[in-house]
Structure 1
């Protein structure tokens, strides 16, 4: 197993083997990550061109170039970190990156928003499952596991 695959697997939270049974695992989808990065670069490019146009700057071509360099540079820098942030659903909890633990009994709402999955608890906490390949099956699976 390659080092990058080991580190990705190690970053997935995993409950103790004698604890609740794991029902599902979700990792960010690489294609979805790059597709949304491209959309973000296009949007920022248009905003930058419009801003330069309003300022009567004659070098409008620099705006989309700068936007693409900035957005794709950021994406390349953060890719390994973002793509390692997986979620694990057990019979009782959703375990996310950075030690997030969301008891299924406390989940008030699960919905898809802009290609991500939003989990809202009864206490008002919001959690995001980022870059799923297809968010709707994730939403259905979590809703089916709710008590």
Structure 2
């Protein structure tokens, strides 16, 4: 397959979740945290999805005149969500996000510079990241969304403070000015 992002990897390899699909860290880049999915949160998210499906069945089936078949609809929802949860579980748990002193590195070549990070918000059991350009990423099935948000924001703010400090300590000679 082709390599549209010029990452040096084939497209199939880059698609598969896991450390092999991640963009490597740059020289001198310091790893600060790794965010992994939580098993308990994963199953509670699947239960919530099944509950929403069941509510839809309970609402829609009588409107369609199929009230006597609600049990079949409910069974279908629970089987579908359960089977899907089992089939994608290994892929979900192979995904991780790494926080470095410069950026967030996600699965399948995703990355987001901390300086470009505008919004960090909770979305159920996930954390949504939004960049200056509107690019959105989702770190899914987290045990402690608030802790992850605080860690990411602290790293971003520390990087911004460091950049301001470097800028404020430049001399006129550094800026190309002459006396």
TM-score range for the pair, normalised by the shorter chain length: 0.7 to 0.9
Number of the residue aligned with 2:83 = 73
Deviating runs (4+, > 4 A) in structure 1?
none
**Does the 8 Å CA contact 2:23/2:109 hold for their aligned counterparts?**
no
Q: Which aligned pairs between 1:1-147 and structure 2 lie closer than 5 A?
A: 10=19, 13=22, 15-16=24-25, 18-57=27-66, 58-146=68-156, 147=160
**Does the 8 Å CA contact 2:102/2:114 hold for their aligned counterparts?**
yes
**Partners of 1:126 and 1:39 in 2: how far apart?**
23
TM-score (ref. length: structure 1) = 0.88
**Does the 8 Å CA contact 2:54/2:77 hold for their aligned counterparts?**
yes
Distance change (3 Å), C-alpha of 1:12 and 1:21: farther
**Partners of 1:117 and 1:12 in 2: how far apart?**
21
Counterpart secondary structure, 1:59: helix
- Report how far residue 145 of structure 1 moved: 0.6
- Report how far residue 17 of structure 1 moved: 7.6
Distance change (3 Å), C-alpha of 1:16 and 1:94: closer
1:13-44 Cα deviation digits (max 9, x unpaired): 37448430100000111110111101110110
- Larger Rg belongs to: 2
**Partners of 1:17 and 1:84 in 2: how far apart?**
22
Number of the residue aligned with 1:4 = none
**Partners of 1:72 and 1:96 in 2: how far apart?**
26
